[in-house]
Amino acid sequence: MKRIDFIRELVQAGCVLLRNGGRHDVYRNPANGSQAPVPRHREIRESLCRLIRRQLGLIP
């Protein structure tokens, strides 16, 4: 999945950018307080996207 599409999906789900890192950006879900790093690659594997969604509490 393209990173820009994944970020758009996170923002639409209510997640916000917490901080920028060297190689990752950290996003936070204000609804439950969880946060997860998102790598700065053009493409992010679907398995990693699923893991990030789970860490942010977007999927059970």
Task: Say what the pLDDT of residue 28 is.
Answer: 98
Q: Tokens at residue 50, please? A: 């699923």
* Structural domain of 21: 3-55
Residue ranges in the chain whose pLDDT is less than 50: none
Would 60 be classed as within a structural domain?
no
Would 22 be classed as within a structural domain?
yes
Distance between CA atoms of residues 32 and 1, nearest Å? 25
Would 23 be classed as within a structural domain?
yes
- CATH number of 17's domain: 3.30.920.30
Would 39 be classed as within a structural domain?
yes
Q: Which residues pair with 26 in a beta bridge?
A: 19, 37
SS (H, E, C) the chain: CEHHHHHHHHHHCCCEEEEECCCEEEEEECCCCEEEEEECCCECCHHHHHHHHHHCCCCC
Q: Can you give the pTM of this predicted structure? A: 0.93
Task: Say what the pLDDT of residue 60 is.
Answer: 80
Per the structure, how many domains does the chain have? 1
